[in-house]
């Protein structure tokens, strides 16, 4: 009789926690994932994956080969992480009470616990269960633990372009708080450069302070543009924020002659890069009309050949039966049907969706803790995710 996933996870609880802790304890900021990729590859081999490869970028790819005749599933998760910021002991991976984070129960704390080494560890452990329990899938079970997701997705793109590491269905393990994600908003990056005239800081009246001029425009962006950004019934409201600002020449005693600030906009199909560009240009033109000394420009223009008008994605349940299959599998593992949602942030799922592959998302952790000093994941959710991944694989692969 085949051991159930819940019984197996219960019996291997300590091993599962240890694997996740080992992943967290290896620092892997974007561009420095090689050591962590090797650690994931080592865990895949220990789990019994039939083939394991770690490429030059640190992407770890493992396969449990099916007996053929079934659909294959690819579990994708990233191992890179954002800077640790103000986190205390970010690579401790310590077990602790989640009460200090407002989370009920025991948690594992550390940079990338939520975003998203818990998802990656659950993918590997689900493979270990399938192998150990002697479950013969018809289709292949694949895991891609990739790098550089936080800075554009070079890891996933490499596994697709160089290794053709693909499948019939893709599951992204980003944090969903145990819900079922079916897509996300698009992501746009623009910057505005404001020109002034430098002079000695002891006589600021001789120059034009580009930083002052930039803050005037930033205030108008916050107060006038942001409140009128549109909403979409599926993807929610467009968001926009200023994320970086810099001046030239950047000297303590010089009035800056140039100020550049970066804009991060998460958009929906009804607000494209061209819409944002024209709205910013209109604000700049109006500000120049009010202030003869104001000069600014937007980069890049959204009219580059080949740029997508919307670079998010959505896996429509009406089109893709795998959504219902995943719901059934998740309900069987959790005892309740998952809520369907879209992520507020972007994921590497877009690269697969653009190829016409159905993409679903499920992962432990809450979005609100990603990229924060409170990065953690509930132990119970992590362990349950192992069961969910095994159940989805059995449903999809046959």
Domain residue extents for the chain = 5-184+312-397, 186-299
Residue with tokens 């300590």: 14
For domain 186-299, the CATH architecture is 2-Layer Sandwich (3.30)
Task: Please tell me the distance from the alpha carbon of residue 238 to that of residue 135, in angstroms, as a whole number.
Answer: 44
Runs of H (alpha helix) within 1-83: 5-11, 13-24, 34-47
Q: What is the pLDDT of residues 359-373, one digit of tens each?
A: 999 999 999 999 999
398's tokens: 């046959």
Q: What CA–CA distance (Å, rounded) separates 94 from 25? A: 10
pLDDT digits (tens, 9 = 90+) for 145-183: 999 999 999 999 999 999 999 999 999 999 999 999 999
Average pLDDT score, the chain: 96
Residue 209 neighbours by CB under 8 Å, 6+ apart: 196, 255, 256
What does the pLDDT average to over 328-351? 97
What the block records as the tokens of 161 is 């372009």
The predicted model gives 109-120 an average pLDDT of 98
Helix (H) or strand (E) holding 292: none
Residue 130's pLDDT is 98
- pLDDT of 308: 64
| Confidence band, pLDDT 50/70/90 cuts, at residue 56 | very high
Q: How confident is the model at residue 310 (pLDDT cuts 50, 70, 90)?
A: confident
The residues that bridge with 263 in the sheet, in sequence order, are: 190, 242
> Percentage of the chain with pLDDT > 70?
98
The pLDDT of residue 30 is: 97
Mean pLDDT of the region 141-145? 98
Contact status, residue 138 vs residue 397, Cβ threshold 8 Å: yes
180-234 tens-digit pLDDT: 999 999 999 999 999 999 999 999 999 999 999 999 999 999 999 999 999 999 9
* Average pLDDT of the segment spanning 238-261: 98
CB-based contacts of 7, cutoff 8 Å, min separation 6: none
Residue 138 has pLDDT above 70, yes or no: yes
Say if residue 269's pLDDT is above 50.
yes
What average pLDDT does range 328-355 have in this prediction? 97
Asked if 74 and 170 count as a contact pair (C-beta separation under 8 A), the reply is yes
**C-alpha distances out from residue 117 to 36, 165, 219, 329, Å:** 10, 20, 38, 22
Task: Say yes or no to pLDDT of 304 above 80.
Answer: no
> What's the pLDDT score for residue 141?
98
**pLDDT value at residue 306:** 47
Please tell me the predicted confidence (pLDDT) of residue 301: 58
Q: Look up residue 68 and give its DSSP letter.
A: S
Concatenated DSSP letters of 171-223: EE-S--TT-EEEEE-EEEEEEEEEE-B-EETT-GGGSB-HHHHHHHHHHHIII
The CATH number given to 5-184+312-397 is 3.40.630.10
Inform me whether the pLDDT recorded for 126 exceeds 50.
yes
Model pLDDT, residue 29: 98
C-alpha triplet 237, 261, 29: angle, nearest 5°: 80
Question: What is the mean pLDDT of the segment spanning 301-327?
Answer: 82
């Amino acid at each position: 009789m085949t051991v159930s996933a819940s019984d197996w996870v219960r019996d291997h609880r300590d091993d599962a926690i240890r694997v996740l802790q080992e992943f967290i304890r290896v620092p892997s900021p974007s561009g420095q994932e090689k050591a962590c990729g090797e650690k994931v590859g080592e865990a895949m081999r220990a789990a019994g994956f039939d083939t394991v490869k770690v490429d030059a970028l640190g992407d770890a790819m493992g396969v449990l080969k099916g007996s053929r005749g079934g659909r294959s599933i690819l579990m994708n998760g990233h191992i890179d992480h954002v800077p640790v910021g103000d986190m205390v002991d970010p690579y401790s991976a310590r077990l602790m009470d989640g009460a200090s984070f407002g989370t009920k129960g025991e948690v594992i704390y550390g940079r990338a616990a939520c975003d998203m080494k818990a998802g990656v560890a659950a993918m590997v452990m689900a493979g270990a269960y399938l192998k150990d329990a002697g479950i013969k899938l018809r289709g292949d079970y694949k895991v891609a633990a990739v790098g550089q997701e936080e800075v554009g997705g070079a890891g996933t793109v490499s596994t697709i372009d160089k290794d053709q590491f693909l499948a019939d269905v893709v599951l992204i393990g980003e944090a969903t708080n145990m819900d079922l994600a079916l897509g996300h908003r698009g992501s746009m990056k623009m910057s505005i450069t404001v020109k002034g005239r430098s002079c000695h800081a002891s006589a600021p009246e001789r120059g034009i302070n580009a930083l002052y001029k930039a803050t005037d425009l930033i205030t108008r962006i916050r107060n006038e543009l942001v409140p009128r950004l549109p909403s979409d019934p599926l993807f929610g409201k467009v968001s926009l924020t200023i994320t970086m600002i810099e001046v030239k020449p950047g000297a303590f005693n010089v009035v800056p002659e140039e100020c550049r600030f970066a804009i991060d906009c998460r958009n929906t199909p009804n607000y494209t890069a061209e819409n944002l560009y024209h709205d910013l240009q209109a604000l700049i033109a109006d500000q120049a009309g009010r202030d003869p000394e104001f000069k600014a420009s937007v980069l890049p223009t959204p009219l580059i050949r080949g740029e997508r008008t919307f670079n998010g994605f959505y896996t429509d349940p009406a089109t893709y039966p795998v959504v219902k299959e995943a719901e059934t599998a998740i309900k069987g593992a959790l005892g309740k049907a998952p809520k369907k949602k879209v992520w507020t942030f972007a994921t590497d799922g877009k690269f697969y969706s653009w190829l016409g592959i159905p993409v679903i998302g499920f992962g432990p952790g809450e979005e609100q803790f990603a990229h924060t000093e409170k990065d953690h994941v509930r132990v119970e959710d992590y362990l349950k995710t192992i069961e969910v991944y095994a159940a989805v694989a059995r449903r999809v692969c046959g």
